[in-house]
Each structure stands twice: as structure tokens, then as C-alpha cells.
Chains A and B, each alone.
Chain A
Amino acid sequence: MKARVHVSLKAGVLDPQGKAIGNALASLGFTGVGEVRQGKLIEIELDGADKAAARAKVEKMCQELLANPVIENYAIELE
């Protein structure tokens, strides 16, 4: 089973990288681009087929290491 963890900065937390990407898109001529936020995607291969157990495990990983709850949100996807 594979878990995908999307980590993103919380709303309201300044994202200077996202801003720089937004400015670069504008300078390339892309119009209609609103706020840009940059996050990260972490893919984890997991043993076993129990989705509920896998979700609980990845949830714990997020809380302990993968995301910093002070500044980041996370979303877990399993496939």
C-alpha cells in the first residue's frame, strides 16, 4: 500500500516561496493567477492491507515528524 502525505503551510502563515513562484508565473505572462502556496508531497510504501490501521499509523507519523503542527497542515491519501 502507498500513502501520500500532502503537507502545506497553514492559512495565514507567510509563504515567501509561494509568493516568489506567483511572481515568476506573472513575469512569464500567465494571467489570472491568484495566491500561490507551496507545500510538499511525501510518499510512503507501507506493508499490510488494512487501510484503517495504515491511516492511523501515518496519522501518527504526521503528528510526530512529517508535519509541524505550529505552521503546517497535512492530508493523507491511501492507495
Chain B
Amino acid sequence: MNDIDLVRDILDTQVLDREKRALGKVDGVGLELRDGAPPRVAYLEIGAVTAWARLGPRFARWATRLASRWQGEAHPYRFPWSRVRDFGIDIEIDADAERAPPLDLERWLRDKVVKRIPGGQ
């Protein structure tokens, strides 16, 4: 791949872990500004707050306030481009969905809600 357009090809793309389990979408891209050199991609970001903040400052404040009640330090989840293993329709990264922070809500719902409903096991 020679030419990658960050907004067109990376932003809002599905992210999978190394076993092709869904991790989330690329909700944001972090750039690093360098003196005398072109900016470069510092990290990609998965996180609801990042996504909602893209709607404008009011949404950013609102989402941050809501999220601060539940989410810990691990949000938004950031990973460097070096973790990307494969890139096409989806972005596959070297991570384990079972432990990754973007699935905190998924795990919480599974353990606290779904498993307690008959048939959810």
C-alpha cells in the first residue's frame, strides 16, 4: 500500500484483534507534530468519547462528563500504527479482544446482565 488517506481509509474503519474479533471502529487519529519534519501518525484511537467529540465542542463536553462516571484510565484506547498487522476492508491489530479496554462494556454486560438471564449462558 503506497498511498493511505487518513480520513478516507483509516478513520471509521472496523478494527479487529488478531483472531478477527471485533474491537470497535477507528474513532480518532492522533498526529504528532515534529520540528522540521512532516507530522506523523502517533496513534489510532477507539472510544465513544472520541467519536462523539467529532460532532462539536458541546458534544465533546457532554460525552466527557458522561464517560467520567464509568470509564477508567484506559479510555480512549490508543494503539500505534506498528500494531497493525493487516489493513484492507478492516484493520487487524495485534491485540487480544478478550482483555482489551474497548470491550469493557461488552464484558460488563455479559457478566452482569446477559449471564444472569436464563438462556444467556
Binding partners A and B: no
> A residues near B, CB below 8 A?
none
The chain B residues found within 8 Å of chain A, CB to CB, are none
